[in-house]
């Protein structure tokens, strides 16, 4: 399933590449936009999928996968950072994750 996310994800370049970050977002969500801006302002490389812009069947597969793998409610933005995750916009948690990852 992570292959499906990888296939659909768009990449944003950044000089900080110490963590593998993918965010699942909604194109109209202000918190999702804030998350992307937060990463961009810190020059962090990441990938994202606007789940409201993809095929319904693919969206359903991704949501089921997230629920099964992370045993969590699904809310956006949903950030996957290596083997950890953050549900919702939480810049304090993002900062912690960036500090713990190499570089």
Per-residue pLDDT tens digits for 79-90: 999 989 999 999
Q: Is the per-residue pLDDT at 8 higher than 60?
A: yes
Domains of the chain (ranges plus CATH)?
2-99 (3.40.30.10)
Q: pLDDT band at 54, cuts 50/70/90?
A: very high
Q: Is the per-residue pLDDT at 102 higher than 90?
A: no
What is the pLDDT at residue 38? Answer: 98
Q: 10: which residues sit within 8 A by CB, 6+ positions away? A: 47, 48, 49
What is the pLDDT at residue 83? Answer: 86
């Amino acid at each position: 399933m992570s292959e499906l996310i990888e296939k659909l994800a768009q990449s944003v370049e950044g000089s900080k590449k110490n963590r593998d970050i993918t965010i699942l977002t909604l194109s109209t969500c202000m918190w999702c936009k804030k998350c992307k801006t937060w990463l961009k302002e810190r020059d962090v490389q990441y990938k994202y999928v606007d789940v409201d812009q993809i095929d319904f069947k693919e969206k359903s597969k991704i949501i089921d996968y997230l629920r099964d793998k992370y045993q969590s409610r699904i809310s956006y933005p949903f950030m996957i950072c290596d083997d950890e995750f953050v549900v919702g916009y939480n810049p304090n948690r993002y900062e912690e994750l960036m500090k713990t990852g190499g570089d």
